[in-house]
Amino acid sequence: MTPKPPTPVPGHALLAGRTAVITAAAGAGIGGATARRFLEEGARVVIGDAHARRLRESAAALRDEFGAGNVAALPCDVTDEDQVDALFALAAEHHGGLDIVVNNAGLGGTADLVHMTDEQWSRVLDVTLGGTFRCTRAALRRLKEQDGEGVVVNNASVIGWRAQRGQAHYAAAKAGVMALTRCAALEAADFGVRVNAVAPSLAMHPHLAKVTTPELLAELTEREAFGRYAEPWEIANVIVFLASGYSSYMTGETVSVSSQRA
């Protein structure tokens, strides 16, 4: 039986009037889907990505659909503190403040430990965990000084809990994102800011298809109870929930967005 494709959920103004910074938001992955869903929910967005051309194209498409005043964009490599600071400064310059941060940037790869180089290990950790650290730090420094609630949502992965061959660097980084989320949440609670994370299992997008073999994708899809991978917007829906008032008592949590069998 072929899995039935899901039906997108319409917006309900859950983020009306709020400003969000979203990293790695160019293209058709989770970051791009999150930017779109936030705009559908009434937010203004500042999107960053290390790929300047894809970022320009994504920003232009979103501006055409949602209005130029609602979308700002700036290339951002999350391993560079100056670029991270510039992205957050744009939120204040273009939208007058900051309410929500979605740390989506991450880098994967496949290598068994016996063949993994120091550079492979360090690069994945620096982008995926170090980038989340830099952006969370930048967010909390600004949100601490603002009068009002703020929210940080980090993108982790079920691989932070589960073992998979060839993924030691990525799994360690995503487990670190979960630990960072818990610790940051305790500190941020002192000034009314919530920090949570999502942990997707398998969300399909063009970049993933390019860096993963069809055989592995088929194997991972087979593990899902619904017999299909998630659409990026299905992950974005849970990010909307964590960014909205519907999750007002949640902080330090990692929400699994998965249909994997136990």
Catalytic residues: 170
Cβ proximity of 120 and 110 under 8 Å:
no
Q: Cβ contacts of residue 231 below 8 Å, gap of 6+?
A: 5, 6, 33, 203, 204
Question: Cβ contacts of residue 88 below 8 Å, gap of 6+?
Answer: 21, 98, 138, 139, 142
